[in-house]
Structures are given as structure tokens and as C-alpha cells.
């Protein structure tokens, strides 16, 4: 290991189980010398095994509904007290679509579900940023990262309204990132990750097809949850101080391939 995050403090949202990107990121941050508070919604904490991760990494768990400003304010205050100062890094690994869960087609949405989905998946990121911004909770050259997917730019029919949520998320990162950069040199980026075998990913219809297709398209193959965690560590480190307002493709090259030889051979 390289001690890339020695002396740095942060908050990691969304670790559910050992397959999740947030979980892998927490492990890698710990290995690189960073300390952090873990947070998730109370229901997700009950469903998952975050206490085991907290024990392994020496982290405090603070439950918070990321759609609640009051919960986020408490989380940030508790994190700064527990960690002994301002925050250097934040991972937003939160996403949910009730329409996907209920099997509603994109052309037949329940709009109450739609609103809940974008509140959890995208507006929550604005709320996190706003609370950090107004509490002056971030150190200069801090780094905030949210996880996205390429359906924000291209059509993946069964990804449903999560595609809209991710497009909204990426826009928030750019817009709020501008103001955070001007105010305190804080970086805000999104990572557009390969389809990854997490609990959330498996909730999308046809997910195995997504993974298999991307694996055949990407010259380097799909990026795993651990690969994404490693990339996130670099964005939290001082090595990427001038990277901000970016949606960073982390997909083994998938996003720049028109068609691969493997796919062509399936039709020849």
C-alpha cells in the first residue's frame, strides 16, 4: 500500500455488503491510511452488514436518511467531532428506483415513485453537498465523488428511470462543483462505472445481459467493485487535485468502442 490517504478524514455513504462499491472503497481507504465515518439509511443498515465493516476498519456508523437535511446535518457534525476536524473526502454511493423494483416500464411510470427515486438517487447528492458547503465542513483540496452509470448518456432500456436519475446526479456534480471549487478548492466528480454485480445492480431487469455484453465490448473487460474502489482512492488523494466537474468513465474502455470483434462474431 502507498499511504495515499494518511491523515485524511471522510464520510462514506452506501456500504451495504461486501459486494458493494462503497464497502470495497471503505476497505481500500482504510488500507491507504484514511479514517472515516460510515453512513446509510436506517433500513439499509438493518438489511446489510455494515457493523462488520465498521469493526474491520475502526469506523463509526452514523445512520442518516440522505434525503433528510436534518439527518445530514447531524451526520456531518458527528463526523467532524468523531474524526477531530474537517472532512477531506466523501463518497456518495446511493441510488434507488421504486419503478424498477415494482417492474413499471419506463413508459408507464408511477410518478410518485419517480419523485422518490430522483430524491434518493440525485437530489440527495445536492443535499449532501449543500450541507457540507454551508457548514464549511470540507478542507481545501477535498474531494467528493458520486457513482454514476453510462445510461445517463446512452439508452439501456431496462435501466428505466435510473438513467434520468444518473443524468441529474452528474449535472448536480458539475453545477455544485463549480461553486465548491471557487469557495474552497473542493473537487466534485462522478465515476461512470461498468455494470457491477452489487445488490442494487441485480435489481435491474436483464442485468446479467448488461454485464456479459459490456465484458465482450470493453477491451480491458469490466471494472470490478474493487477496481472502482482503487480509482476512487486516487480521486480522494492529493494526486488528482486539479480534477473536478468531470464524469469519469471507468469501464474498461466500453464507452469508446463502437463494436468489438467478439460482438461482430455473434452476428457473422
* pLDDT at residue 207, as a whole number: 74
Mention the CATH class of domain 9-265: alpha beta
Contact 216, 262 (CB under 8 A): yes
pLDDT of 117-166, one tens digit each? 999 999 999 999 999 999 999 999 999 999 999 999 999 999 999 999 99
The span from the CA of 102 to the CA of 255, in Å, is 29
pLDDT of residue 202: 55
Which residue, among 163, 162, 138, has the nearest Cα to 152 in the 3D structure? 163
Instruction: Give the separation between CA 239 and CA 210, rounded to whole angstroms.
Output: 32
Residue 185 zone, left/alpha/beta (φ > 0; ψ -120 to 50; rest): left
How far is Cα 161 from Cα 148, in angstroms, rounded to an integer?
13
Q: Report percent pLDDT > 70 for the chain.
A: 97
SS3 158: helix
Average pLDDT for residues 195-216, to the nearest whole number? 78
| Contacting residues for 17 by C-beta, under 8 A, at least 6 apart | 23, 48, 49, 199
Instruction: Check: CB of residue 106 under 8 Å from CB of residue 151.
Output: no
CA distances 34 to 6, 7, 262, 265, Å, are 5, 6, 41, 46
Residues 6+ apart with CB under 8 A from 253: 218, 219, 220
Q: The whole model's pTM is what? A: 0.96
* pLDDT tens by residue, 50-108: 999 999 999 999 999 999 999 999 999 999 999 999 999 999 999 999 999 999 999 99
Percentages of the chain per state (helix, strand, coil), in multiples of 5: 50, 15, 35
Amino acid at each position: 500500500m502507498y499511504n495515499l490517504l494518511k491523515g485524511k478524514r471522510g464520510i462514506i455513504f452506501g456500504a451495504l455488503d461486501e459486494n458493494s462499491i462503497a464497502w470495497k472503497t471503505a476497505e481500500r481507504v482504510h488500507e491507504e491510511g484514511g479514517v472515516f465515518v460510515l453512513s446509510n439509511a436506517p433500513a439499509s443498515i438493518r438489511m446489510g452488514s455494515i457493523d462488520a465493516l465498521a469493526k474491520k476498519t475502526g469506523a463509526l456508523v452514523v445512520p442518516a436518511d440522505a434525503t433528510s437535511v436534518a439527518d445530514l446535518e447531524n451526520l456531518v457534525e458527528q463526523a467532524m467531532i468523531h474524526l477531530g476536524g474537517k472532512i477531506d473526502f466523501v463518497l456518495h454511493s446511493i441510488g434507488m428506483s421504486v419503478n424498477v423494483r415494482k417492474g413499471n416500464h419506463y413508459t408507464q411510470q408511477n410518478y410518485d415513485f419517480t419523485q422518490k427515486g430522483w430524491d434518493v438517487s440525485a437530489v440527495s447528492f445536492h443535499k449532501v453537498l449543500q450541507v457540507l458547503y454551508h457548514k464549511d465542513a470540507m478542507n481545501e483540496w477535498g474531494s467528493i465523488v458520486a457513482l454514476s452509470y453510462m445510461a445517463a448518456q446512452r439508452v439501456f432500456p431496462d435501466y428505466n428511470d435510473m438513467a434520468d436519475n444518473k443524468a441529474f446526479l452528474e449535472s448536480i456534480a458539475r453545477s455544485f462543483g463549480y461553486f465548491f471549487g471557487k469557495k474552497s478548492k473542493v473537487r466534485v466528480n462522478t465515476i461512470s462505472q461498468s455494470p457491477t454485480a452489487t445488490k442494487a445492480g441485480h435489481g435491474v431487469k436483464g442485468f446479467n445481459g448488461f454485464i456479459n455484453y459490456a465484458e465482450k465490448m470493453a477491451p480491458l473487460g469490466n471494472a470490478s467493485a474493487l477496481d472502482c474502489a482503487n480509482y476512487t482512492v486516487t480521486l480522494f488523494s492529493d494526486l488528482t487535485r486539479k480534477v473536478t466537474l468531470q464524469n469519469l468513465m471507468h469501464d474498461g474502455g466500453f464507452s469508446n468502442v463502437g463494436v468489438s470483434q467478439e460482438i461482430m462474431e455473434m452476428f457473422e
